[in-house]
Structure 1
């Protein structure tokens, strides 16, 4: 298994006017009362450890008394805008329990824990720099995956809801061996579909800590789903295998599980199922996806070297000349989705 190399520092691409107009149209652009830079004014911090005393790579930050009151209030307002209609009547019942800052990775996000003091229920949301690549990734996940996503953008700030689940690396290390044989087969099936979905919509860097496993109890068994939680590497890298989770060493145990539990015919069947599902979603979201792709094809979200490398590799994979004609990452993705949709329609027209 090769060890794929990811660009050490992916640049943050600004949100251009065309993308802002798209976000306005679909109620993603909303004025908020706090920006990413405001949270950088912390005065001190302590390391956050997990239950086993391992460093989580997050630090809990603290603000001076004056800043804390203002920041707490504005974070509560953001919470009501993200999860409700912005009605501030609930603010007296909310408490900001913690603001954590991640020093690992490109986006350096803040994680905000908000608790309802009436019943002690709590949830998280994230405050990040508004990177165009990430926004495209979030929108594509919302439309092409089985999961809806909730996020807001204002100027250079992105607010994301928390995606609940067991981190993939933790699940593989601590939970996978405890699963029943039937559960392992189901997880293998989901990994094949997840791998196919990431490849088709060019979502890169799905190492185990960038996705979560979501177990759901259904009658007498547990159903496992796999969800991406990091969208920073949408259409940036030039290596095609970066968009295929199976090629990361962190996923070796998942790949081994697929080989153990599934035949080649089953793997091919699940790939076809996922392509068909994505094609159906594309048809359902046809106008919206068209508008998003129009933004992407008129935007810069990668470098020329990566664009040339990727379109060449995908041409080798598909033998579709449209990829060779692609001028940017937006066009490569558009051709990838058209390729899937065209094949789906051809098969259904012929009645195969």
Structure 2
């Protein structure tokens, strides 16, 4: 895939403002139970939503609106909610071991009605040293769950999340939001722009290979790790609502969003096409290794996803498979009858060469 600096421009190419919540089917629920993702939770999404007494807008340290509101609860419900949220943090972090919860407390509950899943962000504080951590409670949306699971299996990152009935609980993914990074860190003299450009190329490739859409700068974070003499960067998606939902192919390629133009310019300034192709090949090779190591679980997930037909509209599915068929000059995409089948075909199309090479190398090693 050519890497260019041409952003999406017209209104019709923008992602949907609101995506419907798709229910978790029996097949997906069975998969979640089998792989330890379905856990009985002490508090549900509806408990937090129904018992809000009132809320106040949450401002950042510069007194700018964050689009979040701090939710407040009547004392009749607070003890139950507080205890359940602390226990839920223990489920996320220590597999339900409540030994350490005596010094934990709920510092704040924030609510965002702007996002698709209308999430709650829970701040847990250590009463001994005031250290805090966050996690999220959301409506269980099948699209997002498939996105989380594909991220866990195919990306270099591991994701901790649990579901119970119509509730989804996710760990906090640390990092600097992409738009904040562009504004405050991109021009910093200590930022290694070449390594950052390399990582954006790889992130761009990961999203397209697995059809994760709407990766505008505020939907991913930049994780910075000090290295021997410099810094390494990892770009991580934090919003998985648009997993193979949209119909426009370019919406699955982060380089085409105008919000990411600064990253694209960085790549075009510091990398030549040979380097870009090298990094794209490196990422596809690593994804092929991950496919090989998790092939049975991945195939099970994709087969279930293939049977879950209401994960997008018929019009969007038709548009996406048509555009992919034209892009790859492969009519096999047109035979896909569901989003899951389309994701499976996309993985085969983009990773097949790498998987064949991997298999040949393994055969040589065995010989």
Measured against aligned partners, the alpha-carbon deviations of 1:162-184 in whole angstroms (never above 9, x if no partner) come to 00000000000111011447x10
C-alpha contact 2:38 2:163 (8 A) present in aligned 1: yes
Match of 1:260 in 2: 269
Choose from 89, 102, 111 the match for 2:112.
102
Please state if 1:221 is matched with 2:227. no
1:23 to 2:36 alignment: no
Is 2:66 the counterpart of 1:60? no
- Report the equivalent of 2:316: 306
Question: Cα RMSD over matched residues?
Answer: 1.3
Q: Does 1:332 align with 2:342?
A: yes
Matches within 5 A, 1:1-352: 1-3=7-9, 4-40=13-49, 41-180=51-190, 183-299=192-308, 300-347=310-357
User: 1: distance between equivalents of 2:27 and 2:101?
Assistant: 34
**In 1, Cα distance between equivalents of 2:211 and 2:170:** 20
Give the conservation status (yes or no) of the 8 Å contact 2:214–2:254. Answer: yes
With normalisation by structure 2, the TM-score equals: 0.93
Contact kept in structure 2, 1:279 and 1:340, CA below 8 Å: no
The separation in 2 between residues aligned to 1:120 and 1:106, in whole angstroms, is 32
In structure 1, distance between residues paired with 2:312 and 2:356: 32
Q: List runs of 5+ in structure 2 lacking aligned partners.
A: 1-6, 362-367
Tell me the distance in 2 between the aligned counterparts of 1:162 and 1:179: 29
Task: Measure, in 2, the Cα distance between the counterparts of 1:17 and 1:179.
Answer: 52
Deviation string for 1:191-234 (max 9, x for gaps)?
A: 00000100010000000000000111112211111000000000
Measure, in 1, the Cα distance between the counterparts of 2:56 and 2:138. Answer: 20
Q: List runs of 5+ in structure 1 lacking aligned partners.
A: none
Q: Distance in 1 between matches of 2:118 and 2:257?
A: 23
Relative distance call for 1:179 and 1:205 in structure 2 (3 A) is farther
Residues of 1 paired with 2:336 and 2:153: CA distance?
23
State the 4+ residue runs in structure 1 displaced beyond 2 angstroms. Answer: 1-4, 87-91, 118-121, 345-351
